[in-house]
Amino acid sequence: MSNGKIPKQHISRGGLPETRSLKPEALIPSNLPVRLSIITQYYPPDYAATGQLIEELAVNLGSLGLPVQIFTGQPGYAFRKQTAPPIERSERLLVKRSRTAQIWPQRIRGKAVNGLLFCLRSGLHLIKTGSRGDILLLTTAPPFLPILGYLANLCFGLPYVCLLYDLYPDVAVELNVVPAQNLLVRFWNFLNCCVWKNAKRIIVLSPSMKERVVAKCPEVTNKISVIHNWADPGWIVPIAKQDNWFAQEFNLVDTFTVLYSGNMGRCHDMETILEAASLLENEPIQFVFIGNGAKRQTCINKISTLGLSNCRFLPYQSKQNLPYSLTACDLSLVSISPGMEGLVVPSKFYAALAAGRPIAVISEQHSYLRQLMTEANCGAAFNNGDASGLAKFIRCLATSPQLQTRMGQAGRQYLESNFTPEIIAQQYSKILQEAVKEPMEPLSSPSFKWLRRDNSSHFVKKKSGGVVKVSKHHQD
């Protein structure tokens, strides 16, 4: 793996241009031809991966000549910093933040309340700004935010594009938080179809997510585009552990280190990882977990119960530390729980590619990650629950430095050819430009059959080489 330290320009703001506080009246000039307005709850300095990706996307779209205005909330995803400047600007990028801090951001109910409050504040923002932008991009952070696009289109004739990070209420149904036939679920599905049908474009992060959406609302098939997440190979560069201050500080240099970095949430398979750690307890291999999430404390408790000494947990790292924390390992782990394929997409996969380390993916056989792993030839994939297979692969890597190097380099080259910020920004720009040029169409509404108890469409896992079909025997 290549050695070397990250240039100084990569340490400040994660390699992105610094922003400066502005007075409210200092806005992007209104005489520019095309303007994009983005609404998203999370944005740096918040740690949330969705916010960091939006920042990088906005900066790269700005470099293509597209003025971007972002409306976002105050930080609260991972750190305790309560406020950020209400207005910031960098070249063609204007960031406007809600002045209200988040309430109980670390609690589930608090997150739900904050999501609702942010939607209300975003609605007020749209009322104030009207149609100053040419097109609106709405993320699913929070999940019901795209509904504002439909309302903005109805009230102001503002075209909108939906960027789907995850699919709700399907995630809640799959996690057994709410029954599939619950009235709220059926009404939410009805609203989703209404929003999707009237959007100019729908952007999803994986082919399996597209299949999910089409299964629910076939009418939108031709307006859905798959655009993957990305990572910046100019910011995250491979660093040998002996030259990495993060690895030195946490004593990760001399021991083969397996890293899980990111959200340890309900949608991620942590159980298979912990079982593999148990199988490798007496070997010179350590597991490092960086981040937070609903399963974090459960994992800590299980490790304590099993008496494992080869696992350690570290908190979320600030963005400027990520190029070091992500490369302070010999193997990166990416996992997704059974049933979650097409509902969520692990953005950590792309950062792991950039880090130049081998990757082990834990997923169902039909996961889109399997195809990417095959194309990249950067590691191995394992079924959920296959802890013995994962442990065997880790043992193999631990004794094969050349294999580590070959897989790590292959993954990074794959990223550089397919998933850099510049490549992805071009794809977004093309879709946004096409959406602006299209003539406005009359608002359409889906049939109220979505509210009928006996008419829910469900997603069937496809076998290798198979085709996704609609069935009523599997719950999303």
Burial 291-325 (b: 16+ CB within 10 A, else e): bbbebbeebeebbeeeebebbbbeebbebebbbbb
pTM value is 0.83
What topology does CATH give the domain 15-230+431-437? Rossmann fold (3.40.50)
| pLDDT at residue 228, rounded to an integer | 98
Element (H, E) at 368: helix 368-376
- For residue range 141-163, list pLDDT tens digits in order: 888 899 988 988 888 888 999 99
pLDDT band at 82 (very low <50, low <70, confident <90, very high): low
| pLDDT at residue 457, rounded to an integer | 41
**Residue with the larger pLDDT of the pair 2 and 242:** 242
What topology does CATH give the domain 241-419? Rossmann fold (3.40.50)
Which one, of 290, 289, 288, 286, lies nearest residue 254 by Cα?
A: 286
Could you tell me if 423 and 230 are in contact, meaning their C-beta atoms sit under 8 angstroms apart? yes
| pLDDT at residue 376, rounded to an integer | 98
| Confidence check: pLDDT of 2 > 60 | no
- For residue range 201-230, list pLDDT tens digits in order: 999 999 999 999 999 999 999 999 999 999
| Confidence check: pLDDT of 274 > 60 | yes
Highest mean pLDDT among 38-52, 58-72, 83-97, 336-350: 336-350
- For residue range 279-327, list pLDDT tens digits in order: 999 999 999 999 999 999 999 999 999 999 999 999 999 889 999 999 9
| Confidence check: pLDDT of 101 > 60 | no
Tokens 């195809």 label which residue?
Answer: 371
List the domain boundaries for the chain.
15-230+431-437, 241-419
| Confidence check: pLDDT of 270 > 60 | yes
| pLDDT at residue 100, rounded to an integer | 62
Tokens 């406020």 label which residue?
Answer: 83
- When mean pLDDT is compared across 11-25, 236-250, 357-371, the lowest value belongs to 11-25
| pLDDT at residue 141, rounded to an integer | 84
| pLDDT at residue 301, rounded to an integer | 96
CATH topology identical between 15-230+431-437 and 241-419: yes
| 110's tokens | 């608090």
- Please count the residues of the chain: 476
Could you tell me if 394 and 258 are in contact, meaning their C-beta atoms sit under 8 angstroms apart? yes
